Structure 1
Amino acid sequence: MNLRQIELLRAVMRCETTVRAAQELGLSQPAVSNAIKHLEGQIGFPLFERVNNRLFPTAEARAIYQDSDPIFQMHAALEARVQDLKENRAGHVRLIATPPLGYSVIPRALGSFLAKRPKMRVFFDVRRFENVIDSVENGVAELGFVMGLNENRALNAEVFFSERMVCVMRPDHPLAEKNTIYPSDLRSVPFIALERGSRMGTIVRQAFTEAGEPFNFAVEVRYCNTACVLAENGVGVAVVDPLSPLFSGHYNLAIRAFEPAVQVSASVVSSRKRPLSRAAEAFLREVRVVVGEVAGKLA
């Protein structure tokens, strides 16, 4: 099995049909279909179950997909490096962040950073926590910004923001009249929960346990930004990080303190194997300036 065959397999698994995989790879559908059949014959076991013109990967195919992830992450990092060398960029930085930071602090800092450096090239992506950590470890990104980081000995990490989570709702919601919201206040209103198993979802659930209140919800979402959108539209009340509602100016939300206090921190991570570039260090300075302004507002 060579890299091209693995790439074809991964494309078909993502797209679920050979037609869409062919479009993604710039090949013909018969070429992709024949390549998969040839691969199955070569390795001696099926990779897909075919049902109603859709392909469902077998357990063996899923195992190959998962085990091949590091190879393609390294390949992406190498391609990015080659492109940088080809274009002979005087200055560039690659950034990645989880949504609470990718849609709040980082865009504000990026605006200031680029205003002073109009020729700088920035590559920026917003992904899940695990993707951010993997991207920094594999060199795809130079700096990663995450919420709720536990100790990670493989990376350098610096906490640059720490504050309590807040409760958000429409300004005309009955709970908006209160200065502080407790789990008992949420017993009889639709509650928007953060995803079970996520870092912030877990600590919010622990707060309810600490208060001796049952954790019931009307809607469960993955990201705080999604919770803010739903709260603004009257779906319910949510407990989120303080940055998501504060930076998104289009949200029409009341922001209230939440007790018991649920502390959440933001960290920047970088590789222990590679020193930071001057561009990355300069961007971090901009982030610290923005965070200092946020701390003043929250105070």
Structure 2
Amino acid sequence: MNLRQIEILRAIIRHNTTVAAARVLGLSQPAISNAIRTMEDQVGFALFQRVNNRIYPTPEATIIVDDAEAIFDLHERLEGRIQDLRDSRAGQLRLVATPPIGYGMLATAIQRTQSLRPKIRTYFDVRRYEGVVNSVESHKAELGFALGFSGKPGLASEVLYRGEMVCVMPPGHPLSERRQIRPWDLRDYHFIALESGTKLGEATRAAFDQEDEGFTFSAEVRYANTACTLAEANAGVAIVDPLTASSGRFKLVSRPFAPAIPVAAYAIWSENRSLSRLGRFFLERVREVVTDLPKEP
């Protein structure tokens, strides 16, 4: 017996008559009667007893249907899962981001997504730029987010945000009275530099070179979050990306830095794998978060 035949058998038992079963299944009454004869020929025993033009299931038919209930329960759950996937209510999100994006706008986008789609599971990691690119290339993550993506064969990208680096300092710091900070303004203060060899660290050094200003620092850190933590502890001032500066996690004052150091945040995904419905849904939440970001000072 195939699943369709078991479904017909189940409907007849549930609704007591072949007419009612035919109506529920969208079949004709003769089709139901023919199905009964075919099933009985296949199993080799009677599935119904005929009494006064009515049919009653035999104990064997009842056993078959009872045992088949697990199959129908599984089918219903599968149908529900398919519906959830179609509506992006269920599934898995695998994301990776560099710290400036991961600890800020991406965390907010994950919260919004989970509130709208509570059944989903999110796998999220924060890594350096190279780790983000490698995770997307190897399909360990469906979506990657990084500052300053320079393009790579096999990867598609979208610019989510553009801004410029800012100088951050504790409230009340003498430099907070300035409307703009330039390299020579930092000569008399402890300066927290982003690590040499990183994209933002090298961009900052290039800005100092452009102004013929020597690049000296009292501390060097890998991540902008670390720089902001030190600045908040009054260990110096720092030049960081605007996403970290405006994340709301630090009690700092930020001022525009010149010469301008452009910063762009990118979403990255594999060109040979189209984004899932859930991936597209999440990317739309990220775009909403970017729209809500505070404007630069």
Distance 1:198 1:103 in 2: 18
Q: 1:153 is paired with a residue of what secondary structure?
A: coil
1:228, CA displacement in angstroms? 0.2
Partner residue of 2:282?
A: 283
Give the % identical residues.
Answer: 48
1:264, CA displacement in angstroms? 0.7
1:195, CA displacement in angstroms? 0.5
1:183-234 CA distances to partner (integer Å, 9 max, x unpaired)?
Answer: 0101111100001010000111110011110000000000000000000001
Partner residue of 1:150?
A: 150
Query: Is contact 2:142–2:270 with CA below 8 Å preserved after alignment?
Result: yes
Partner residue of 1:97?
A: 97
Q: 1:180 is paired with a residue of what secondary structure?
A: coil
Partner residue of 1:65?
A: none
TM-score scaled to structure 1, two decimals? 0.68
1:108, CA displacement in angstroms? 0.8
Runs of 4 or more, structure 1, over 3 Å off, are none
1:229 matched to 2:257? The reply is no
Q: 2:239 is paired with a residue of what secondary structure?
A: strand
Partner residue of 1:274?
A: 273
1:173, CA displacement in angstroms? 1.1
1:114-168 CA distances to partner (integer Å, 9 max, x unpaired)?
Answer: 1100111111010111111111000100000001111212201111111001000
RMSD: 1.4
1:203 matched to 2:203? The reply is yes
Partner residue of 1:117?
A: 117
Matches for 1:37-116 after TM superposition, within 5 Å: 90-116=90-116
Matches for 1:132-171 after TM superposition, within 5 Å: 132-171=132-171
Distance 1:215 1:238 in 2: 13
Distance 1:285 1:256 in 2: 30
Distance 1:264 1:159 in 2: 11
Query: Is contact 2:165–2:241 with CA below 8 Å preserved after alignment?
Result: yes
Query: Is contact 2:146–2:265 with CA below 8 Å preserved after alignment?
Result: yes
1:30-76 CA distances to partner (integer Å, 9 max, x unpaired)?
Answer: xxxxxxxxxxxxxxxxxxxxxxxxxxxxxxxxxxxxxxxxxxxxxxx
Distance 1:207 1:184 in 2: 11
Query: Is contact 2:205–2:215 with CA below 8 Å preserved after alignment?
Result: yes
Query: Is contact 2:160–2:287 with CA below 8 Å preserved after alignment?
Result: yes
Partner residue of 2:187?
A: 187
Structure 2 unaligned runs (5+)?
1-84
Distance 2:90 2:119 in 1: 8
Query: Is contact 2:90–2:117 with CA below 8 Å preserved after alignment?
Result: no
Structure 1 unaligned runs (5+)?
1-87
Rg larger in 1 or in 2? 2
Partner residue of 1:64?
A: none
